[in-house]
Structure 1
């Protein structure tokens, strides 16, 4: 995992917070100073928090579980969707549907519906439908795809949430808290860091800042996936060697 350093954070503007009048006092431990009416974050603390979050998220992925990315703000959507898709992790970048975690059984029904529409559209019978019916089916698919496309492969609840902007995604965080799902989050000076289990103090409005943090978390996840794959291969190799040894001993008898 390529670790980011102080200069990387500085160049990406991770240290720029909100106007001092918009601050949340609970962010005080992470604030370095105030300049021209804007709070400046302590990047040394950001580095420590980012390192802790990266190590913890890596262990979650290494155990074979999924991390759900959540970011519906304009600046974060693209980079989050791209990184999550690259890592084959679930993501929500359009709209958080209430109950997406706490009422997962209903969400799964919608996912099954989306899957069945997909199968129908590939079937010859679809072409035999009236033009109006085909239009209704494709519109239904588009609607479901837009909201649930990022979680189409999710068969069970994620083991963790990675969130950009805890104020904006407060519903998702509340649902995660109800289910004891740990929350990793990029937290700006206008937010409450206590709602996240692993807060990463940083600018959650600038594209460069979001991109740097998301990619670092992505690198930690990638490392966890790679280690899990290597462990599996090693176990398979040991099992094959044990079988071979057993077979050799049997034939020797």
Structure 2
């Protein structure tokens, strides 16, 4: 999907923060100052979206997951919709401490959710007392709210995509410790040096977040489609390779019968 600067402009991606709140390290991405607000250079944003999109498509094509993180109100629904649409894990509630650095414990919690579901299916759940059932239901609801969106993430993600790196600083630190590549929308009040792939953009307006994530999710979808096509081609090649072998076996069997 080609990035259109006009579309970025219409979505308000160019509006940065108040000049007094800026981080000087964002200077290369600032176009000008207007009415005490920094204006982001959208041509640089477009170039960075292309760069990040290509890298994310490659990660998706390799079969690894990209974990989306956005707990601010304006971003929650957008991230849940876009990440969910391409079957990628996401965190939109509070970041669970140790989500990455203590991934084994997080996986245990996810498995607990699955075991409760099994109890309900096989009837074990109904053998519990009314009070116990209530407690289990509450636990299941809590786990679903915090971890339901990452239940398919069986190993550490191949990358992190963050909206607002200031707010999600704990997630950023955990990813840095584990050398997980970080992709992020970075506003003028944040330090871009914390991120591997910077997308300079307004990270407060839902329209801006929606526009950037539309481009990003489209790039990931292309990577997933490429992976699917490769798998199908590989399966077809194996099937074609098996045909001559089967035919050869048939011919040998026919010769033996004639003899």
Asked if Structure 1 and Structure 2 have the same fold, meaning a TM-score greater than 0.5 normalized by the shorter chain, the answer is: yes
Q: How does 1:179-218 map to 2 (within 5 A)?
A: 179-218=178-217
Greater gyration radius: 2
Partner Cα distance (2:85, 2:47) in 1: 26
Shift of residue 49, structure 1, vs aligned partner: 0.4
Question: 2:238 matched to 1:242?
Answer: no
Q: 1:163 is matched with which residue?
A: 162
Determine if contact 2:3/2:49 at 8 Å carries over to the other structure: no
Determine if contact 2:165/2:186 at 8 Å carries over to the other structure: yes
Shift of residue 249, structure 1, vs aligned partner: 3.0
Structure 2 unaligned runs (5+)? 253-259
Partner Cα distance (1:249, 1:109) in 2: 51
Q: 2:257 is matched with which residue?
A: none
Partner Cα distance (1:41, 1:192) in 2: 14
Partner Cα distance (1:187, 1:121) in 2: 44
Shift of residue 153, structure 1, vs aligned partner: 1.2
Question: 2:57 matched to 1:58?
Answer: yes
How many residues matched? 252
Shift of residue 227, structure 1, vs aligned partner: 0.6
Q: 1:47 is matched with which residue?
A: 46
More deviation, 123-132/180-189: 123-132
Shift of residue 251, structure 1, vs aligned partner: 2.9
TM normalised by structure 2 equals 0.95
Q: 2:29 is matched with which residue?
A: 30
Task: Give the match's secondary structure for 2:6.
Answer: helix
Shift of residue 215, structure 1, vs aligned partner: 1.3
Q: How does 1:221-236 map to 2 (within 5 A)?
A: 221-236=220-235
Q: 2:153 is matched with which residue?
A: 154
Structure 1 unaligned runs (5+)? none
TM normalised by structure 1 equals 0.97
Shift of residue 246, structure 1, vs aligned partner: 2.0
Question: 2:8 matched to 1:6?
Answer: no
Determine if contact 2:3/2:50 at 8 Å carries over to the other structure: no
Task: Give the match's secondary structure for 1:40.
Answer: strand
Partner Cα distance (1:168, 1:134) in 2: 37
Task: Give the match's secondary structure for 1:162.
Answer: strand
Task: Give the match's secondary structure for 1:72.
Answer: coil
CA RMSD of aligned residues (A): 1.0
